[in-house]
Structure 1
Amino acid sequence: MAADHAATSLTGQFCGARCRPIVSIMVAAWWRVVEIQPDRPVAFDRVECLLTEDSGLEGFSMLDRSTVDSLFPSDLPETQQWEDRYPTRVLSAGALVTRFCPSPTGYAHIGGLYVATIDLDLARHSSGVYFIRIEDTDQNRSVADAEDQFSRVFDYFGISSQESGDDTYGPYRQSDRELIYLSYVRELLRQGQAYLCFASSAELAQISEQQRTGKVPTGYYGRWALWRDRDPAEVEQRIAAGDPYVVRFRAPDDAAGQRTHFTDAIRGRLEHEANRNDAVILKSSDRLTRLPTYHFAHAVDDHLMRVNLVIRGDEWISSVPLHQQLFTALGFEPIQYAHIAPLMKQIPGGKRKLSKRKDPEANVDFYLQAGYPAPAVLYYLRGLANGRLAEMPLPDAMAAPIHLAECGVAGPLVDLVKLDDISADYIATIPTPELFAEILRWASRHDALLADVLQDYSRTALRALAVERDGADNPRKDLRKWSDFRQAYGFFFDELFTPLAGADDERLKPVGIQPELAMQFAEDFATHYEPSPDGAWFDQIRERASRHGFAANARELKQNPDKYPGSIREASQLIRVALTGSTRSPDLQAVAEVLGPERVIQRVRAIRA
């Protein structure tokens, strides 16, 4: 604990009720400091008097050190041991240490991926460090497989931690850091900057009800803070009885009515009402594992892990005053915060925050299951963070740095149509063998039948993917994500294709040919079909269409619609639907060449089924 930090209280240690302090002690209210000289004997009741008369804090009686220490393991390390174990990082000037801290109380949100992308980019471009810390202090709400999903997300999008294990600044899971938190909670209790609270749930509910009735701010403060200034004898009696308690932070006495400010890396100078609530910092003593709340845990963790930039959602802005108080009480250097605007969704009449409960695209699994390529998603998110990146080609945008100063204070809209376009453009640039490997990798996890088909018929798949792609100046963009493969290319495989069930099949209705004529034309085409070189292949359709009374082109049909049952266009669409099940497909001759004569004839004759 830093002994020279303003606004820390009792950072020295006392060896008895009346003794010489071991080090210089700073007794402080919020920004008001009284120094007690180390060469001057001081009675403990004199310290209480100073607190009352000079610091602006109300008089209170602290538990003696032996009582405080009895609440913790006898071998609990002192805070200085943790400070020594996690020294200041040796990094170049300007290097940023960032962290992404998902909580397993739910699945990964696309907003979390958005923040992690920024975290990682800023650390990389400043020659700093990026790591992931699992914030699992709220274990009652933990989702069983959330961390498994986190791992999939980290791996897929390339945002895995640059540090791990216990040999650096770990552990990187808060539930594994219990002893660290206990050391710092004990220190605050020793100093009188925290206290035990035995208030029951019923009492807390009654306080809230009274506050609402009286139309005053709810919270645990002032006269509502039942245990803030209780007689130590009563506290010790409750301890002896084994009654459960929480540990609360003692907010500065003069916080009510005060304003505090800080400079946000995105939003600039912000001002807020100072915190006056005595927040819980350590959860109930009746739990097997004593874990802190988020507020306290993040302060201790970010300090010891030597984080110097915290990027988080703007919903945390209102908590900054409390976090400032905690950092001051603990003697920690303050950390730069950057509060980022949330991702938004367009709705009729406006927009709202993207919701896990309402919007499937809020869950990162939506993108994994659909098979959006990671580079396309990351490129899109980078463009949401800094608009200039959206104007760059993908490789350039991925290499260019993200600037916090360019992050807006209004939440950017998540537009899946835009993401589809970006993804289609990206997929169109992938060489066919690599594209096949990506689809197979996705299918192996999300579509077992497709994976089996691709492995069994890899040559067919490669030929299918090459149609109108390999060597094309304007390659096809019918894949926006890996899950589109079934719809766009599944007809190349009998295992994924359902043949027509006769001339009345619903898929033939858009063609608009009478069933009897459709059957006659199909049989004629199948009977005389032969694989042919370029040009000659389509002549087969043209010749059969002419024999069955189809117009040579759409213009003739338009000029005399009663004379023709359709044009060459409808005749070719009849064959297209028979082969692919759709009126839209790659080049028909190329499709037929991949399918082979036997399957072409078989599928066309299905019109007569």
Structure 2
Amino acid sequence: PTYHLASVVDDHYMDITHVFRGEEWLPSVPRHIQLYKSLGWEPPIYAHLPYILAPDKSKLSKRHGATSVLDYKEKGYIPDAMVNFLSLLGWSLDGETEIISRDQIINHFSIDRVNDSGAVFDIEKLDWMNGHYLRRMDVDKLADCLYQYWSDYPPEELDRIPSIDETKEIVILIQDRIKTLKDAAPFIAFLFKDKIVYTATQLIQKGLDLEDTKNILNQAVSLLNNIDDFWEDNIEESLRTFAKENNIKLGHFLGSIRFAITAQDASPQLFKSIEILGKDLTLFRLDQAIQTLNS
């Protein structure tokens, strides 16, 4: 009883005119209106919103995962995407538009367009929406976001946090490939590891043997060592030209180099990655791979 009284008194003295709350509060409406009348006050306008549901259509709860907005911040979701996503849980602008700015939400929100039934919290849709916002971001803004995120939540995949200038270079590699800020670190971990580890078996690409792989990596060392202006276009031209002139399958050639310097089957753009990694470290890792094959 004291809670209901306190709620009514609190709302009155804060000049609350509209109360929006979950549908579980519907049974309390008569009590609250009666309290307002008893105190001689004008009651606010009440509106009750449907539950947010889990994918199995049960009421969303902690057992379904993160429930605090700070949990989603730690998972790498950005504010604009979260606001957009949450605004569409039970409401819509026109039944079709998915990407909505905050100004649009403020200007067009109407309780008349709120659904009567519960809305499912679809994490896959949130991932898609967050990725959309990340891809639309200015490079410098995304770099600032990513740098701050890594400072707040240092990723275990990285041996050190990249500088802001390094982060700007990284964004070019990954902007089209990530759905959350958390996705970024695994893609570029090889750039900020003191040491990468692999076996000879892992280094040998499908369709190649030991000698093929050693020859490819030795040729890569020679080619890259001869590039004075070590930047993306020159690296790409040198490697592609050699593979074409020597009738080497490009997938085998670049795949072997990629794994030797990244220890990953998939990585961001190879030639830009090599440029960022730098000549000395690239050659060091290729030599390390050759030694692994020789051992």
Same fold, TM exceeding 0.5?
yes
Alignment match of 1:343 (pick from 30, 52, 57): 52
Alignment match of 1:570 (pick from 243, 252, 255): 252
Q: Is the 8 A contact 1:371 1:482 kept in 2?
A: yes
Question: Residue in 2 aligned with 1:502?
Answer: 199
Q: The residue matched to 2:89 in structure 1 has which SS?
A: helix
Normalized per residue, which structure has more strand?
1
Question: Residue in 1 aligned with 2:127?
Answer: 420
Q: CA RMSD in A?
A: 2.9
Residue 573 of structure 1: how far off its partner (Å): 1.7
Question: Residue in 2 aligned with 1:482?
Answer: 181
Normalized per residue, which structure has more helix?
2
Question: Residue in 1 aligned with 2:214?
Answer: 519
Alpha carbons of 1:394 and 1:514: their partners in 2 closer, same or farther (altered >3 Å)?
Answer: farther
Alpha carbons of 1:405 and 1:486: their partners in 2 closer, same or farther (altered >3 Å)?
Answer: same
Give CA deviations for 1:268-319 in whole Å, capped at 9, x if unaligned: xxxxxxxxxxxxx3xxxxxxxxxx3x22211111122221111111011122
Counterparts of 1:219-258 in structure 2, within 5 Å, are: none
Q: Percent identity?
A: 24
Q: Is the 8 A contact 2:204 2:210 kept in 1?
A: no
What is the one-letter code of the residue matched to 1:525? A
Gaps in structure 2 of 5+ consecutive residues: none
Counterparts of 1:167-316 in structure 2, within 5 Å, are: 281=1, 292=2, 294-316=3-25
Alignment match of 2:261 (pick from 579, 582, 586): 579
Q: Is the 8 A contact 2:146 2:167 kept in 1?
A: no
Residue 601 of structure 1: how far off its partner (Å): 1.6
Question: Residue in 2 aligned with 1:429?
Answer: 136
Q: Aligned partners of 1:581 and 1:382: how far apart in 2?
A: 42
Q: Aligned partners of 1:398 and 1:368: how far apart in 2?
A: 21
Alpha carbons of 1:315 and 1:515: their partners in 2 closer, same or farther (altered >3 Å)?
Answer: farther
Asked if 1:359 is matched to 2:64, the reply is: yes
What is the one-letter code of the residue matched to 2:122? D
Residue 367 of structure 1: how far off its partner (Å): 0.7
Gaps in structure 1 of 5+ consecutive residues: 1-280, 282-291, 469-475, 551-566
Question: Residue in 1 aligned with 2:75?
Answer: 370
Question: Residue in 1 aligned with 2:170?
Answer: 464
Asked if 1:406 is matched to 2:113, the reply is: yes
Residue 510 of structure 1: how far off its partner (Å): 7.3
Q: The residue matched to 2:151 in structure 1 has which SS?
A: helix
Counterparts of 1:57-72 in structure 2, within 5 Å, are: none
Residue 405 of structure 1: how far off its partner (Å): 0.7
Counterparts of 1:96-135 in structure 2, within 5 Å, are: none
Q: Is the 8 A contact 1:379 1:394 kept in 2?
A: yes
Q: Aligned partners of 1:408 and 1:442: how far apart in 2?
A: 35
Alpha carbons of 1:516 and 1:331: their partners in 2 closer, same or farther (altered >3 Å)?
Answer: farther
Alpha carbons of 1:535 and 1:452: their partners in 2 closer, same or farther (altered >3 Å)?
Answer: closer
Residue 539 of structure 1: how far off its partner (Å): 4.5
Q: Is the 8 A contact 2:84 2:100 kept in 1?
A: yes
Residue 484 of structure 1: how far off its partner (Å): 1.8
Alpha carbons of 1:544 and 1:435: their partners in 2 closer, same or farther (altered >3 Å)?
Answer: same
Give CA deviations for 1:130-184 in whole Å, capped at 9, x if unaligned: xxxxxxxxxxxxxxxxxxxxxxxxxxxxxxxxxxxxxxxxxxxxxxxxxxxxxxx
TM-score scaled by structure 2? 0.83
Q: Aligned partners of 1:420 and 1:509: how far apart in 2?
A: 35
Q: Say how many residue pairs are matched.
A: 284
Alpha carbons of 1:601 and 1:541: their partners in 2 closer, same or farther (altered >3 Å)?
Answer: farther
Counterparts of 1:322-341 in structure 2, within 5 Å, are: 322-341=31-50
TM-score scaled by structure 1? 0.43
Q: Aligned partners of 1:444 and 1:451: how far apart in 2?
A: 13
Alpha carbons of 1:504 and 1:452: their partners in 2 closer, same or farther (altered >3 Å)?
Answer: closer
Question: Residue in 2 aligned with 1:543?
Answer: 242
Asked if 1:596 is matched to 2:295, the reply is: no
Alpha carbons of 1:327 and 1:512: their partners in 2 closer, same or farther (altered >3 Å)?
Answer: farther
Q: Is the 8 A contact 1:524 1:544 kept in 2?
A: no
What is the one-letter code of the residue matched to 2:76? G
Q: Is the 8 A contact 1:345 1:414 kept in 2?
A: yes
Alpha carbons of 1:397 and 1:582: their partners in 2 closer, same or farther (altered >3 Å)?
Answer: farther
Q: The residue matched to 1:380 in structure 2 has which SS?
A: helix
Give CA deviations for 1:195-243 in whole Å, capped at 9, x if unaligned: xxxxxxxxxxxxxxxxxxxxxxxxxxxxxxxxxxxxxxxxxxxxxxxxx
Q: Is the 8 A contact 2:18 2:45 kept in 1?
A: yes
Question: Residue in 2 aligned with 1:442?
Answer: 149
Q: The residue matched to 1:362 in structure 2 has which SS?
A: coil
